[in-house]
Structure 1
Amino acid sequence: METRRRSVVKAIVWNVMGLATMTLVGLIATGSAAVGGALALVNTAIGLTLYIVYERIWAGVSWGRNG
């Protein structure tokens, strides 16, 4: 089983990559770095929270594991 700390670190790294991507997409879509960045921050906060919950649920599921 995965530790909570590992789940959180994985989620943070994943969301930093997503933040950068969403900032760029927001900038391209709106033409504004401020609006694009704000959209990216909101998306990252929601995504981080949901990803941590998702990972913790799957950490408790034994289906598909070997050993």
Structure 2
Amino acid sequence: MGNGMETRWRSLVKAIVWNVIGLGVMTLVGLAATGSAALGGTMALANTALGFVMYLTYERVWAGIRWGRHV
């Protein structure tokens, strides 16, 4: 099963991919909610930037927690 450790590089790539997906979804939600592509896009970019930092931090915190791992 491996040691369950996750590298920083893997955490970074996962965060980037997740946020690209989120950016697309939030752009559509923002457009639908406001009727404006510019405003919807701005909202999506702000959400993606904050979400990226929070997700990456969250992943790194969990990478250091041993609970629930099979080693």
TM range, smaller chain: over 0.9
Tell whether 2:67 aligns with 1:63. Answer: yes
Tell whether 2:45 aligns with 1:41. Answer: yes
Moved over 3 A (4+): none
Cα RMSD for the two superposed structures = 0.4
Unaligned runs of 5+ in 1: none
Distance (Å, rounded) in 1 between the aligned partners of 2:12 and 2:37: 28
Larger C-alpha radius of gyration, 1 or 2?
2
| Structure 1 residue 27: Cα displacement | 0.2
RCO greater where, 1 or 2, for CA within 8 Å and sep 6 or more? 2
1:22 counterpart residue number: 26
Instruction: Report percent identity of matched pairs.
Output: 69
Tell whether 2:11 aligns with 1:7. Answer: yes
Unaligned runs of 5+ in 2: none
